[in-house]
Amino acid sequence: MTTPAPLRCLLVDDEPLAHTVMRAYLDRIPGLATWAGSCYGAVEALTFLRATPVDVLFLDVDMPVLTGLELLRALPQPPAVVLCTAHAAHALDAFDLGVVDYLLKPIRFERFIKTINRLQALAEPAVALPQSPAPEPAAAVPASDSIFLKTDAGTERVRFAELLFVEGYGNFVKCHLASGRVLLTAETMKQMESQLPAGQFVRIHKSYLVNLASVERLSGNVLLVGARELPVGSTYRQEVLRHLR
């Protein structure tokens, strides 16, 4: 088996300290990754990438003139991208744009190594694909008692019985689970409603879709679901009452 070539990495970040840290990390793993260049702004990176191919783009988000996300959307064929930012709020955008990983600053070396290993695995499709054929058919033919949700951490199976309610969040939704976990996924409320069993999940508001089995009480225009009080929209009230009789 041939040894894969080191990944050529470009860092785009307006903070000099970020370049110092990342360069030090890469110097510690010369066989896995190598430094291809430094850019301190997104516009500079556009020029660099036109002339120099790279395997991985480590990209900061909050930069002047052009943000990292705007740069990513402007690239016709971006390399593998890893977002590096101090703000967890960008995770949804990262997922929507298909980035490989999302590193929160300050970046720890052990977390950085995990990212490099993931990138190396992706760079070897001939080896990776035969080892993991199961997710494809599972996603295409989901089990009748569950749904597969894509989150920034990967694809996760969620059983209908575990899903208390779905909350609209712009072009995304929050899936609230009985365990207390909340999964963020790039689906709209309309898409989620079409994928969940109609006899079990009911729209109670433009922003809420509820598992009827998790409803504790209806008081006026407020539905108690688990420990949460959710509003019942006037447009949906009659349908909600019909299901609760």
Alpha-carbon distance 66 to 167, whole Å? Answer: 32
Using 50, 70 and 90 to split pLDDT, how confident is the model at 141? very low
Q: Return the pLDDT at 128.
A: 36
Domain extents for the chain? 7-130, 136-244
- Sign of the alpha-carbon torsion through 217, 223, 225, 226: negative
- Average pLDDT (134-147) is 51
Chain segment 189-228, per-residue pLDDT in tens: 888 998 898 888 999 999 999 999 899 888 888 999 988 8
Inter-residue long-range contacts of 222-230, CB under 8 Å, 24+ positions, other chains counted: 225/164, 225/165, 226/164, 226/165, 226/176, 226/178, 228/164, 228/165, 228/176, 230/165, 230/204, 230/205
Chain segment 69-82, per-residue pLDDT in tens: 888 888 888 899 99
| Domain 7-130 architecture | 3-Layer(aba) Sandwich (3.40)
Mean pLDDT for the chain? 84
pLDDT at 124 over 70: no
Q: Return the pLDDT at 132.
A: 44
Share of residues in the chain with pLDDT > 70 (%): 87
Q: Return the pLDDT at 229.
A: 92
Of the candidates 107, 70, 108, 118, the residue with the CA atom closest to the CA atom of residue 85? 107
pLDDT at 90 over 90: no
Alpha-carbon distance 122 to 117, whole Å? Answer: 9
Chain segment 161-198, per-residue pLDDT in tens: 999 999 988 778 899 999 988 888 888 888 899 889 88
pLDDT at 135 over 90: no
Helices then strands, each counted (H, E), the chain:
9, 15
Using 50, 70 and 90 to split pLDDT, how confident is the model at 94? low
Q: What is the CATH number of domain 136-244?
A: 2.40.50.1020
Alpha-carbon distance 233 to 241, whole Å? Answer: 12
